[in-house]
Chains A and B, each alone.
Chain A
Amino acid sequence: MSEASGSHDLFSSQSSGAESGRLSLPSTSGNGAVPRHDQQQRLSSRPRPPASGEDGEEPEEAGESPRPPESAEGAGDDRSRRIIRNQYRELIYNVQQNREDMLSSKSNRLTEALEEANKLFSGVSCAREAALDAQFLVLASNLGKEKANELRSEMTAFDSLAFAEDLLTFMGINRIEVEENDSDSEGTSGGYLPSNAWHKLGEETEKYFRRAPSFHYMLGSFKSDPPVPRQRIERQKKATGGEEKRAMPAQLKKMEESHQEATEKEVERILGLLQTHFKNDPDTPISFFDLVIDPNSFARTVENIFHVSFIIRDGFARLKLDDDKLPIIEPSKDNVGGEDDRSTGARNQVVISLNHQEWKEIVETYEITEPMISPPHHRNEEEMEIA
């Protein structure tokens, strides 16, 4: 009893880990008849195989073949079953990939695939492989149905290529003598379609339709006023839709530039200021705080630091600590020098934190009365004027 329940537990835990709807047989079941019975019962009450039509077979299969309980035989059998499953999966994959080929009336490949599956099936003894076989059968029968459909129309050989060519002729194509015949390989004929080609075709086709003409009020109605502007906007959008692709990048560039410009302009301006200072006084480095601090505005101070950081990043200037351990800024010769520094040495990062209180203290300590970096003129955003 306990044995039975024990194997039952083993069974259920294994089946919970199995793929949906498929039972994996326990690889070793030392017990004798009892588990086999359980398994057989389970199989017959199993929900479903993946395809229709094979239902009857599986419980039969499970009943017929003896389940090898011993590990040695079990392993060998497992391997061969795995091989069969593999072959089935390969066959299914092949059929799916070569769909077009199988469908062509000239090829016998579908029949060959079916024969191969038939051969494989003779080695099938368990439900899992049979399920794969069923899957293949569904695939093959779908293909067969499609093939039969195609067969019917092929009897009166509608040549779509010729139809396409005749259509183009009707639309008034100008067949230019083209030297390179790459157009043939692309499947389109050479030539130039006039702009009213489709319209011309459309006018002919209208005769074949009994289409109710669209009803529009000639002078419009009161209620249709609001929609009219909407339509215009829509049409404008659609009209520029084609050029949208071109317009959009241009627009985006503009926006980005304007953003960039503001920052870059500032940076350049400050760089100019720096360089002017150094020209006048080549040997004295400027104190960092003298440069960036704006005694009138904390926000502008922070902005200045931001802009100066760009200059340092690009290598036009260097930040150092002087003998008093206070930061100073001095120009570096040119961009190349800056790049070399960057590549040879490690990239240095510095985080400067500055709060309102500290800013005030610095202003007092350094006795900064006016900003070295003059505030830009054209900025119309709110300036925080802090007295």
Chain B
Amino acid sequence: MSQRKRSKGSGLSQGGDGDEDFNQSQMPTHSQVQRNLERRSQDQVNQKVSELVQFLLVKDQKKIPIKRADMLKKVIREYRDVYSEIVNRAGKTLQQVFGLQLVEIDTKHHIYILTSDLPRAEGENLHRDNQTAKLGLLLIILSFIFMKGNTAKDGAVWEFLRRLRVQPGERHEVFGDVKKLVTEEFVRQKYLEITPIPLTDPPEFSYQWGPRAAKETSKRDVLRFVAKIQGKDPTFWMSQYNEAEATP
């Protein structure tokens, strides 16, 4: 019964709110969407687009990636048959109005993040919170990983952080539980990817860039940062420089 209400338009889905509903195979194709669009009033569709834009902006506060399933369930709902059109328009709105980009970082599970289209403006950050400091820590870790060849062992990373007075066991005065911040928060935000190394006992992990890091910054930028801090030219590290130039 509930299925009826949910799937107007092109015949979709068997279930209710489950994620299985939103499989690629069951999403309407582009031509289907265009046809379905004609059935709806423009106002209604635009309304949904606005709602989606607001939803995305709020969801992005914590920097946790947004799942397509959430978007469909909470906002789009019965307009699922024109889903792709709504998302596209929302993306355009975000870009033109806010200068933000809606990026799909996982095409298999359909996970999105918001990044900024514009370069960072000069001037002091008015919103004083912990985010700035966390970003500093994150960039340090990302630089370390990159300069060490795009992957680093957890032992090496924490050893490096120790030299900066950041210990996993102690409570840091700025970051609090650093271990949790790095291994949980950064990973959940998709800035870092931590994978266990097989056949190690006690288990060791390898740290790599997460998809969000790849989208929000670049190897070139990171190398620039390292070069600035160390007062050298980026070409000082030849292989890293070449790699950075090669990656768009």
A interface residues with partner B (beta carbon < 8 Å):
96, 99, 138-139, 142, 149-150, 152-153, 155-156, 158, 160-168, 170, 187-189, 193, 195, 198-199, 201-216, 238, 241-242
From residue A29, how far is it (CB to closest CB) to chain B in Å?
36
Contact B125 A209 (CB under 8 A): no
The 7 closest A-B pairs by CB, nearest first: A202-B132, A153-B149, A202-B136, A201-B136, A198-B133, A164-B163, A215-B57
**29 A/B residue pairs, CB under 8 Å, sorted by A:** A138-B199, A142-B199, A149-B149, A152-B239, A153-B239, A156-B237, A158-B237, A160-B156, A163-B229, A164-B160, A168-B164, A193-B165, A198-B174, A198-B175, A202-B131, A202-B132, A202-B134, A203-B124, A203-B132, A208-B222, A209-B217, A210-B117, A211-B115, A212-B60, A214-B63, A216-B61, A238-B176, A242-B171, A242-B176
6 additional A-B pairs beyond A156-B240, A163-B226, beta carbons within 8 Å, are A152-B239, A165-B163, A195-B173, A201-B140, A210-B118, A242-B171
**CB contact list, B38-64 vs A, under 8 A:** 57-58, 60-61, 63
Q: In the complex, A150→B225 CA distance in Å?
A: 23
B203 touches A (CB below 8 Å): no
B137 touches A (CB below 8 Å): yes
**A-contact 0/1 string along B111-150, CB 8 Å cutoff:** 0011111111000110100011111111110011001110
Contact A166 B229 (CB under 8 A): yes
Q: A167-B140, A241-B176 are in contact. Are A199 and B160 (CB under 8 A)?
A: no
Please indicate the chain B residues that have their CB under 8 angstroms from the CB of A213 in the complex: 116, 127
Nearest A residue to B120 via CB reads A207
Nearest A residue to B157 via CB reads A160
Contact B163 A208 (CB under 8 A): no
Nearest B residue to A155 via CB reads B239
Please indicate the chain B residues that have their CB under 8 angstroms from the CB of A210 in the complex: 115-120, 215-217
B230 touches A (CB below 8 Å): yes
Contact A211 B147 (CB under 8 A): no
From residue B48, how far is it (CB to closest CB) to chain A in Å?
19
Please indicate the chain A residues that have their CB under 8 angstroms from the CB of B134 in the complex: 202
From residue A28, how far is it (CB to closest CB) to chain B in Å?
37
Q: In the complex, A164→B229 CA distance in Å?
A: 10
Please indicate the chain B residues that have their CB under 8 angstroms from the CB of A198 in the complex: 133, 136-137, 174-175
Please indicate the chain A residues that have their CB under 8 angstroms from the CB of B131 in the complex: 202, 214
Q: In the complex, A347→B216 CA distance in Å?
A: 74
**A-contact 0/1 string along B148-179, CB 8 Å cutoff:** 11010000100110111100000101111000
Contact B133 A199 (CB under 8 A): yes
Q: In the complex, A142→B144 CA distance in Å?
A: 23
B224 touches A (CB below 8 Å): yes
Please indicate the chain B residues that have their CB under 8 angstroms from the CB of A199 in the complex: 132-133, 136, 174
Q: A142-B199, A210-B216, A214-B131 are in contact. Are A170 and B229 (CB under 8 A)?
A: yes
Contact B164 A214 (CB under 8 A): no
Q: In the complex, A139→B200 CA distance in Å?
A: 9
Please indicate the chain A residues that have their CB under 8 angstroms from the CB of B230 in the complex: 162-163, 166
Please indicate the chain A residues that have their CB under 8 angstroms from the CB of B116 in the complex: 210-213
Most buried by B among A160, A193, A204: A160
Please indicate the chain B residues that have their CB under 8 angstroms from the CB of A96 in the complex: 201
Please indicate the chain A residues that have their CB under 8 angstroms from the CB of B72 in the complex: none
Please indicate the chain A residues that have their CB under 8 angstroms from the CB of B119 in the complex: 210
Nearest B residue to A210 via CB reads B116
Please indicate the chain B residues that have their CB under 8 angstroms from the CB of A188 in the complex: 162-163, 165
Contact B231 A158 (CB under 8 A): no
Please indicate the chain B residues that have their CB under 8 angstroms from the CB of A205 in the complex: 135-136, 138-140, 225
From residue B93, how far is it (CB to closest CB) to chain A in Å?
13
B238 touches A (CB below 8 Å): yes
From residue A238, how far is it (CB to closest CB) to chain B in Å?
7
B100 touches A (CB below 8 Å): yes
B248 touches A (CB below 8 Å): no
